Amino acid sequence: MSAELDRPVIVFDGVCVLCSRWVDFILRHDRTGRFRLAAMQGTHGRALLLAHGLSPDDPASFLLVEGGQGYSDTDAIARVLHLLGGRWRATATALRVIPRPLRDPAYRWIARHRYHLFGRRSQCRLPEPEQAWRFID
């Protein structure tokens, strides 16, 4: 495994406006650079989605890979928030209080309709030069 994949990797839809906002949130709150980011349209992102049983052509979820373990849907969101620490850890705990049979279908509905609800970019989100090291591919 390459050095950049030794850290948790968030695989996201690089053309989805909502997903790009999630990436902006991660970049703003992950001040230590814990997470690496890989667009599903890239080689690494696509390979990670396939390895964890998600369709790289139209995933219904983003993926967090940490220590070889894949997390998706609201479990991935809660895990990312927990790892960010501070007040985000409390938010993760509150999210986990909602039973998974309620939270995951709601998440998947939003994921399936993400382009219609939030928009789609014509090309993948490009990182700012000072943040490029955070992105894989």
Mean pLDDT, rounded, of the chain: 89
Q: Which has the higher per-residue pLDDT, 79 or 124? A: 79
| pLDDT of 2 higher than 70 | no
- The residue with tokens 């997390």 is 71
Residue 98 backbone phi and psi in degrees, to 5: -70, 130
Output the pTM of the full model.
Answer: 0.88
Q: DSSP for 41-85, please give it.
A: TSHHHHHHHHHTT--SSS-SS-EEEETTEEEEHHHHHHHHHHHH-
Contact 136, 36 (CB under 8 A): yes
| pLDDT of 126 higher than 80 | no
Q: 1 falls in which pLDDT band (50, 70, 90)?
A: very low
Give the per-residue pLDDT at 12.
Answer: 92
State the Cα–Cα distance between residues 103 and 94, nearest whole angstrom. Answer: 12
Radius of gyration of the chain (CA): 14
Average pLDDT over residues 55-72: 87
Q: Which has the higher per-residue pLDDT, 10 or 132? A: 10
